[in-house]
Amino acid sequence: MKPKSTKGDPVSFYDMGDWYEIWQGTRDNGGKPLVIHNNALRFVKDASPAKSNVLEGTQS
Protein backbone atom coordinates (compact mmCIF):
# COMPACT_ATOMS: atom_id res chain seq x y z
CA MET A 1 0.00 0.00 0.00
CA LYS A 2 1.32 3.46 -0.87
CA PRO A 3 0.16 6.39 1.31
CA LYS A 4 -1.76 9.08 -0.56
CA SER A 5 -3.25 12.42 0.41
CA THR A 6 -6.96 13.10 0.01
CA LYS A 7 -6.19 14.72 -3.34
CA GLY A 8 -4.57 11.50 -4.56
CA ASP A 9 -1.01 12.81 -4.48
CA PRO A 10 1.65 10.46 -3.07
CA VAL A 11 2.90 11.14 0.45
CA SER A 12 6.64 10.93 1.20
CA PHE A 13 8.24 10.23 4.59
CA TYR A 14 11.79 11.50 5.25
CA ASP A 15 13.78 10.03 8.15
CA MET A 16 15.60 12.96 9.77
CA GLY A 17 17.13 10.95 12.61
CA ASP A 18 15.08 11.91 15.68
CA TRP A 19 11.99 12.89 13.66
CA TYR A 20 10.28 12.48 10.29
CA GLU A 21 9.18 15.05 7.75
CA ILE A 22 5.98 14.18 5.87
CA TRP A 23 5.41 15.71 2.45
CA GLN A 24 2.66 15.68 -0.17
CA GLY A 25 4.79 14.90 -3.21
CA THR A 26 8.53 15.22 -2.50
CA ARG A 27 10.92 17.89 -1.26
CA ASP A 28 12.62 17.85 -4.66
CA ASN A 29 9.57 18.41 -6.88
CA GLY A 30 7.96 21.36 -5.12
CA GLY A 31 5.92 19.27 -2.70
CA LYS A 32 4.07 20.59 0.33
CA PRO A 33 5.23 19.76 3.88
CA LEU A 34 2.79 18.63 6.56
CA VAL A 35 2.34 21.37 9.20
CA ILE A 36 -0.03 22.27 12.00
CA HIS A 37 -2.17 25.12 10.63
CA ASN A 38 -5.22 26.50 12.50
CA ASN A 39 -5.17 23.49 14.88
CA ALA A 40 -5.30 21.01 11.98
CA LEU A 41 -2.75 18.98 10.04
CA ARG A 42 -2.41 20.37 6.53
CA PHE A 43 -0.02 20.23 3.59
CA VAL A 44 1.08 23.86 3.04
CA LYS A 45 3.24 25.13 0.15
CA ASP A 46 6.42 27.03 1.13
CA ALA A 47 5.99 26.27 4.87
CA SER A 48 8.59 24.91 7.26
CA PRO A 49 7.92 21.19 7.77
CA ALA A 50 6.74 19.97 11.15
CA LYS A 51 8.91 17.51 13.06
CA SER A 52 6.80 14.37 13.41
CA ASN A 53 7.46 11.41 15.66
CA VAL A 54 6.10 8.09 14.50
CA LEU A 55 5.44 5.57 17.25
CA GLU A 56 5.88 1.90 16.55
CA GLY A 57 3.70 -0.52 18.39
CA THR A 58 2.34 -4.01 18.37
CA GLN A 59 -1.21 -5.19 18.52
CA SER A 60 -2.00 -7.72 21.23
Residue 1 has pLDDT above 50, yes or no: no
Say whether pTM exceeds 0.75: no
**Calpha distance 38→22 (Å, rounded):** 18
**Calpha distance 55→25 (Å, rounded):** 22
CA-nearest of 37, 9, 33, 8 to 23 is: 33
Q: State the number of CA atoms in the 13 A half-sphere of 1 facing the CB.
A: 3
Q: What is the pLDDT of residue 33?
A: 93
What confidence tens digit (pLDDT) does each residue in 9-58 have?
788 889 888 888 999 988 888 899 999 888 888 888 988 888 877 666 66
